[in-house]
Amino acid sequence: MVSKKVLNKTALPVLLIILFFSACSDKKEKVKEFLFVSSPKGLNLRSEPDAKSKKITVLPFAGKVKVLKSKGEKIFFAGRYGKWVNVDYSGKKGWVFSGFLSTFDTGKIQHTVAEFYRKKHRKEYKDEYKKFLKGKKVTYEGLFTFKDNDIKVISIVKNVIKLEVPASGDSTWPNHIRPVISVGVYNGKNSSYVEYLFNDGTSQGTDGEIVHLNNDEFPDVLATYYTDGESSYYVLLGTQNGLIEQKNSIECDNAYQEAYDKFYKKYPNSFGKCGKTRIMCPKVYENKVLLYKFDCSTNSFKKYREIKVKKSKNK
């Protein structure tokens, strides 16, 4: 007969082993996570972890998916980092590239950004806003009353987003409101937005392309500031703490002369990692074209070619 003392000594290690494996099993279940579709045009759900495999359906923007498993290492594909992951969306299972999924609810972006700009416009046009609150008719009433769905999400790469938002316009625009570009960083934890680029709706403008310029995993922004006669290109480098503007920029002329047409066609601006981002920069008053490419070693643009331009003869 086995004594109670011996039984207790044997049972305790067995119990600990059972608890250990039970905890591991629970941990394994928790690996499954929920993510949200971040592609504004939707995301193809495929039969295999391959962009050429059969398309099962298109997952909608902000659709919530359960990640079941992943395959392979993280790769750079379609302008972003990620893995092929097997997901479940409302009972439909298949593969998507995780670079087009977000950890935060992308469906909340419009409301968050709309609130940001309604507050910004009320502060900027505070005198008009006071009159509006008193029931008086004001020019920019639309800046205070626009709807959440007036915010258009153009692209999302990780937590950097490009949007179209309402801004002031002249009398040629309905209700003096025109859509302009905004680029910023979205914080999904507290649903906040930090603006880095904003086109104020005047004759001058700003635009930005979200692109991985160097080899780290933080998305960067190639920004353009333009007027009727000039364009400036500058870089906002992505970091763990947001975007940081680089000091050096490229100053170009907007060349409408016939002599420059062939250069726009032959050397179009392109975007990609390191040397794949290239800018064609006309210098009209100096009769030349400068070609730049992004240098990863210095995180800045470097001129790689200079071409003389012959003046067009007047007919």
Tokens of 250: 């490229």
* CA–CA distance, 157 with 155 (Å, rounded to integer): 7
Cα dihedral sign, 37-42-44-49: negative
Whether 307 has a pLDDT exceeding 50, the answer reads yes
Instruction: Tell me how crowded residue 85 is: count the other CB atoms within 10 A of its CB.
Output: 21
CA dihedral 285, 306, 219, 68 (to 10 degrees): 130
Q: Token match 């700003």: residue? A: 206
What average pLDDT does range 290-304 have in this prediction? 94
Q: What is the pLDDT of residue 101?
A: 97
Residue boundaries of the structural domains of the chain: 33-102, 106-254
Superfamily of domain 33-102: SH3 Domains (2.30.30.40)
Helices (H), 61-192: 109-124, 126-133, 141-145
What average pLDDT does range 164-191 have in this prediction? 92
Q: pTM (2 decimals)?
A: 0.84
E strands, 80-212, in order: 80-89, 92-97, 101-102, 152-157, 160-168, 177-187, 192-198, 205-211
Q: Token match 């870089």: residue? A: 235
Confidence of residue 93 (pLDDT cuts 50, 70, 90): very high
